Structure 1
């Protein structure tokens, strides 16, 4: 039998701040290397292939510290203004 309750997913504010900081570092590193940061990040999010992210400034290692579900939650909250 299935439970009809909706699952909730919540990050603490500290974790959200950490994710935003990591995204900023990764974005800047991609830009410094001449990449289109938005396209590269979208590619990474869709595929989880770390080669979309440069190793410059340790960006690839940093982005891999973020779970994709966490990343999407922070991005959607920011976009929707919550």
Structure 2
């Protein structure tokens, strides 16, 4: 019989923190590869919340759904401001 008086420890591997920029790059690449207009499709997804705007190619749909839509908008706006020297 096993000794049940001792506590056993185990560690669960957590997924690495997703960076919004990385998600957008992956999704953009998958959309381009499939021949879609990635800008139109990503805007459609952000505006409607409908994940079918995003291809499932290369797991892009699952990936983008792991990020909140407001986080996508925030990252895009920050990038726009930075790239246009508006800061």
* TM-score, length of structure 1 as denominator length: 0.77
Deviations 1:14-67 (A, max 9, x none): x6x711001000000000001000000010010010000000000000000110
CA RMSD for the aligned pairs? 1.4
In terms of fraction of residues, the more helix-rich structure is 1
Q: Which runs of 4+ in 1 moved over 4 A?
A: none
Give the structure with higher Rg (CA): 2
Separation in 2 of the partners of 1:74 and 1:34?
A: 24
Please state whether the residue corresponding to 2:67 is helix, strand or coil: coil
1:40-55 residue pairs with structure 2 within 5 A? 40-55=41-56
Aligned length in residues: 67
Long gaps (5+) in structure 1: 1-14
Long gaps (5+) in structure 2: 1-16
